A and B are shown apart, each in its own frame.
Chain A
Amino acid sequence: MITYREALSAAMWEEMERDEEVFLLGEDIGLGGGAFNITKGFMEKFGRDRVVDVPLSEAGFTGTAIGAALCGMRPVVEFQFADFVTESYKMIVDYAAGNHYRQMGPVPIVLRLPAAALVSAGPFHSQNPEIWFFGTPGLKIVAPTTAFDAKGMLKGAIRDPNPVIFMEYKKFYNYPVNELPDVLRPEIPEQDYTVPFGEARTLREGDDISLITFGTTVLEALEAAEVLENDGVSVEVIDLRTLVPLDKEAILKSVRKTGKILFLHEARKRGGVGGELAAIVSEEVFEYLDAPVRRVGAPEAHVPLSPPLERAYLPSTEKVVDELRDLAAF
């Protein structure tokens, strides 16, 4: 089994061998192999014109990637941390996202965003960027949680004709494979594959409560479901895998079965994707609900650095368990 990090490397390596229009742009990715060593050895193999160490200029190199994509190239942009994508916001939201809608052609770029909290990474190295992009049409937003998804989705993103916000989770980069729950380490096939966007994955089947999540919190979701099983409550855990496109039917199907639903994500509750999903459930399957739609997300604060603050900020298994027990008792 390979790690999530190795899966990302393998995806790019294979795509660069397959298609010479694919090239990488980012800070320190060539000579240094990237802040997280994901492109280590790439420059030696593919050269400095396909593994491009760029000046410190996120807006500039994102725009450069878009320009190259307009001409048919397939740039993959690495941000050192997802947080720095705010530098490039207008390039993505105003230029790339709408270019096809304005009938000016596709913009096939992949924006690789090392996202979410690690350990005491602080306010500018811990954020969840989906909240900045979810309301903009024309951007695909994907959130792989396993090495299998990381590889298959990155390959899919590179082949996709649209701009893709590719959230990759620092927490999973080097996560010891043997410490992951079995369901989070699917076998990676030898042959080429891609993971289609818009297909959620049921990590655990259950009958009493639907627990819908994505990103780092798949871990807390699975742990909490285990705890509830000991209470005699059967929790269904679904990893959305991609936010745009959204597998709405997977959510609705699950809640029609269970009648109770909890949305969980690491990003703040206010303005988080869970709010939109809760609204969809209320609008479309209200008559199946046996309890209010609930959400667990971070509180109204910036991601703090000091360990006790950070622990209190991040959605924990305990918080999820508490909400699930509340729902179960409803």
Chain B
Amino acid sequence: MDANHPLATREELASLDFYTDLADRYLAVDGLEARWVSFTNNEILPDRETAERMHYLVSLARAVEETLDSAFRSGHIPGTAFFGRGNEGASVASAMCLEEHEWLVPMHRNCGAHLAKGHPPRSIMSHFFGRADGPSGGRDGNFHMGYRPKRITQLISHIGTMVPIATGVAWAAKARGKGEATINYIGDGGTSAGDFHEAVNFAAVRKLPLVIIIDNNQYAYKTLLSDQYACDALVLKAPGYGLPGFLIDGTNAPLVHHVCSQALARAREGGGPTLIESITMRAAGHSVYDKFSDYVDMEHFEKWTSERDPIKRLDEALIEFGVMSVEEVAASHDKARKDAEDARDEALKSPMPDPAHLTEGVFAE
């Protein structure tokens, strides 16, 4: 690590404030050293083409989820729905770093990652609506979905389970020796699950090409961070596994892209896994049924959702540094909104699954 970056003191770590301490720097952890790396928003911006795509996808992620939310309220979604509001920037900007042939192992709040990897909004809508042409044919719903044509694995409800799956995907990537890597997400709550430990440890032991992004959105359903872990930050678990780690503001999409692309490059070159703790705010309930204002500190919530909204931040940064004009940003949002609504309209015309096929496909032939 660059010795020019100042060391974080024990006091600084013990009193970390995600809102103020990560505004213009991030924490890089390696071994027993944690250093502050300062940045300006200008220097971390991706090239214009990437930035435009990022903007559209971040906006699309929100538009798809807002469309789904209103479809839920209209009775079009059986079961429940989880959304990643507040995580769109981190989700899109990280998954965008993957190549077409690389696998993505997403979690519940990764609509953005699905879209960035190429999962069409139309297919996502059909899945939520329980339709026959969704990726699971109506056999599951909500964000329990994968999309094999774009190499996205399915997740199951059991939190933590997906980290070992990601380790296996990374194992296959390494075994085939083509320099491929994978990304997996886990929440702050998920890091408490034993599977997280087992998988991260094994990935580290075998130097697997895996980037694990902890989406620390400050709530695990109704549980506070202070009831979830006792370390100063989850990224500080990385040295215990012999891994490097980064603690970043996940509402700054270009920063996520900047850090994640470095971690992936390292993984592809055989350098092994990286743990990235990405701080966001879960800007909605755990699910559509969750009345979160009952237990969330709403003053803290308002501060984050107004000042650290990933879409607003991206709009402002791209305009401020002349990457996109005000008109281009507005047009990008309009296109995203229209694409989401068109996808919904099409999906609502899809047939429901036929019970005649209920027991088909239990086994592969």
Contacts and interface: CB of A to CB of B under 8 A. Distances in A.
Q: How large is the interface on B (under 10, 10 to 19, 20 to 34, 35 or more residues)?
A: 35 or more
A230 interface: no
A263 B198 CA distance: 40
B199 interface: yes
B139 A103 contact: yes
Contacts of B161: 63, 90-91, 94-95
A62 interface: yes
Nearest to A107: B364
B332 to A, nearest CB: 32
A64 B164 contact: yes
Contacts, number: 131
A67 B144 CA distance: 16
A23 B175 contact: yes
Contacts of A138: 362-363
A226 B99 CA distance: 66
Task: Pick from B158, B167, B205, B361 the residue with the most CB of A within 10 Å.
Answer: B167
Interface in B97-116: 103, 105
B137 A63 contact: no
Given A94-B156, A161-B365, A60 B175 contact: no
A104 B135 contact: yes
A133 to B, nearest CB: 14
Contacts of A140: 363
Contacts of A59: 164, 194-195, 198
A63 B363 contact: no
B167 A104 contact: no
B199 A60 contact: yes
Contact of B165 (A63, A100, A106, A108): A63
Interface string B195-208: 10111011001000
Given A68-B168, A103-B139, A104-B148, A55 B198 contact: yes
25 contacts: A55-B198, A57-B197, A59-B164, A61-B164, A63-B198, A64-B164, A66-B165, A66-B168, A67-B165, A67-B166, A67-B167, A70-B165, A70-B168, A70-B169, A70-B172, A73-B171, A94-B157, A94-B158, A95-B165, A102-B144, A103-B136, A104-B146, A104-B148, A105-B364, A140-B363
Interface of B: 103, 105, 135-137, 139-140, 144, 146, 148, 153-154, 156-158, 161, 163-173, 175, 194-195, 197-199, 201-202, 205, 361-365
Question: 6 shortest A-B CB distances, which residue pairs?
Answer: A67-B168, A63-B164, A60-B198, A71-B172, A57-B198, A106-B364
